[in-house]
Copies of this chain bind each other. A is one copy, B any other.
Amino acid sequence: DEERKRGYAFVVWKDIARWFIVLLIGVITALIAFIIDICIEEFSNIKYEQLKKSVDKYVLLDELYIPYLLWVLSNISIVFVGSMLVAYIEPVAGGSGIPQVKCYLNGVKIPRVVRIKTLFVKAVGVICAVVGGLAGGKEGPMIHCGAVVAAGISQGKSTTFNKDFKVFQYFREDHEKRDFVSGGAAAGVSAAFGAPIGGVLFSLEEGTSFWNQALTWRTFFGTVVSTFTLNFALSAYHGHPGDLSYPGLLNLGKMEPFPFQIYELPVFIIFGVIGGLLGALWNYINFKLAVFRLRYVGEPWLRVVEACLVAAVSATCGFLMMFLLNDCRPLGEDPTKVPLQLFCADGEYNAMAAVWFQTPEASVRSFLHDPMGSYKPGSLVIFVVSYFLLSTWTFGLAVPSGLFIPNLLTGAAWGRLMAIWIQYAIPSMSINPAKYALIGAAAQLGGVVRMTISLTVIIIETTGQISNALPIIVTLVVAKWIGDFFNEGIYDTLIQLAGGPTSPLGTPSTSTQHLCVRIVTYSGFPVVDPPLADENEVTTYKRLRGMILRSQLIVLIQNKIYNENANTTWSNLKVDMNMFRKEYPRYPSIEELDISDWELTCTIDLRPFMNPSPYTLPHRASLPRLFRLFRALGLRHLPIVNDVNEVVGMVTRKDIARYRVWRHRGHMGMEELVLSSEI
């Protein structure tokens, strides 16, 4: 409507503004990612260097409990900060943020998920979590950060700071905002993994119902800008500004293209099976933990205590492994920054200490690139088991942390283990451990998240080698098949646990909250949403005339657009769009309205505001048909009419989302979800 009034120039202006916003989103997301990355790297270096000094000093005195305590204490204190922030300031910033973003993109609004405060807590929290030695990654939180940045910029105002910059007001509607948030999440993926194509595919796979070519292309532009900015910033930080040699944060190091033979296919399939099984187990444990937490660890202080406990356990695990597994290797080509001698002979270092005394990301790199004999199989077995358990315990704590890196690490470790065993079984072959470590990492991650094409592309882009695509794809296909046989991907599991669509804000209710509004525009043609509580006022023909949203009604009442007020004739109603935009997206609730007694008898002419031609469905339509309409059009509520277009009922998204079809272990069925209000 507005577009038609303002003509072509307005359309072009809006289009240019969209591209400009995407550019901004890409740049700012990349800069935030850059800051997070640098902080993590620098603080981790300081921490591990101090610890190393302390170990080197006390190992000679046989007082190793001192560095151990130092380690535990530093972990706990750092994690404490992050977890306090999450538990007391912004609980929605906990976890990886991907489930929340996924919910948001699918139209289910979780309160405060795209606020600036959330961004701040998320950024600081993830630095604390990773520096604090938890088995978590920074990639998921970065994706969430991208989404927040996108929401903030595109709306041009911030609720946290209570500021309204009065820019981009034309994008203040659900649909536009959602598109930008999807672009922001893509930019986040792109910055985290250096994967512009993967970012686009991620936002498609997780949030899209439609294929919209213009949007996809703009998103792609955003992801490229994001990768490029990050690359430039990191290159400049490392002293080679024009070089552009740091494409992403999750740098797995350049993999060589590894040739593979056709008889290796079964091996890849076996890796996929293992990955699928382990992933399903990981999800199962994590799910049980999440249920346990929902039930018994509700209090904020309990959540902080749990986070600190995990931090202590992580340090203890690491310390025991370093101490008990005397896995000594000669010093040499290993890229570790702080090799620890511990009980090893001179000129040797402790391999397990090397793995533990760096960020998990660096450990993944070590597993992928170290030569064949770098680790003892025994140490690897213990490492895989303990890290597997630690990571599934960590994910879901009250700190922002992702699951990509820990699962890649677990997978790379067992992949390397498999390589050693294959080498042992067939000594004549020359086995490339990097290949199997990479395949294992992909299989483990695929088994957990069950993302399909986007994960494949992300891994390919991260390793920078497209010629390795086929083994990775085969492994991921198998891992997903196997995993799906048992349960669903971790993100979907968490979303379903939280009951999916629960939104105190924004969902137009069809209930009878409307108190005083008597809609008597035409007594015979009511706007049937909301159905009139007062049946006597209308004739028996309750025909559908249009739909109006609760938020619109509230704004109307707030602005007192009553028929009884003389100035609200049709010609004075030019204000409409801006009136609604000013409040978006946090409309006042019904309780905040100040309604005097005389107003209770007033009427509102809803015709200029209502949607005059809502989509409807006849009452004999089947459920799949209903579902298809909801999904295809992204509806929130749908009036069901009978043969003469009288409203016989309403279906809301909540009604639909309660039911879901499951298919596991050779069975399928439909179950009704219990809706809770937390995620």
Contact = CB atoms under 8 A, between A and B. Distances in A.
A403 B474 CA distance: 32
A464 B464 contact: no
A622 B633 contact: no
A645 interface: yes
A453 B242 contact: no
Contacts of A544: 618, 643
A262 interface: yes
B613 A617 contact: yes
A12 B8 CA distance: 52
Contacts of A261: 242-244
Interface stretch (A134-142, A220-228, A366-374): A220-228
A629 interface: yes
A586 interface: no
Interface in A128-183: none
Nearest to A263: B242
A211 B213 contact: no
Interface in A288-342: none
Interface string A424-464: 00000000000000000000000000001100110011001
Interface string A613-646: 1011110111001001100110000000101110
A262 B241 CA distance: 9
Given A464-B467, A466-B460, A220 B453 contact: yes
Given A259-B243, A633-B632, A617 B615 contact: yes
B200 A453 contact: yes
Interface string A187-217: 0000000001100100011001111010011
Interface residues of A, number: 73
A668 interface: yes
A469 interface: yes
A8 B667 contact: yes
A543 interface: yes
A470 interface: yes
Nearest to A634: B632
A668 B633 contact: no
A176 to B, nearest CB: 15
Given A8-B667, A221-B477, A643-B645, A216 B452 contact: yes
B220 A452 contact: yes
A632 B461 CA distance: 32
Contact of A464 (B11, B12, B217, B466): B466
A224 B11 contact: no
A511 interface: no
A65 interface: no
Given A242-B263, A613-B622, A616-B616, A213 B452 contact: yes
A20 interface: no
A260 interface: yes
A253 interface: no
A71 interface: no
13 contacts: A196-B469, A200-B453, A216-B452, A217-B480, A220-B453, A220-B473, A224-B473, A241-B262, A242-B263, A544-B618, A544-B643, A644-B644, A644-B645
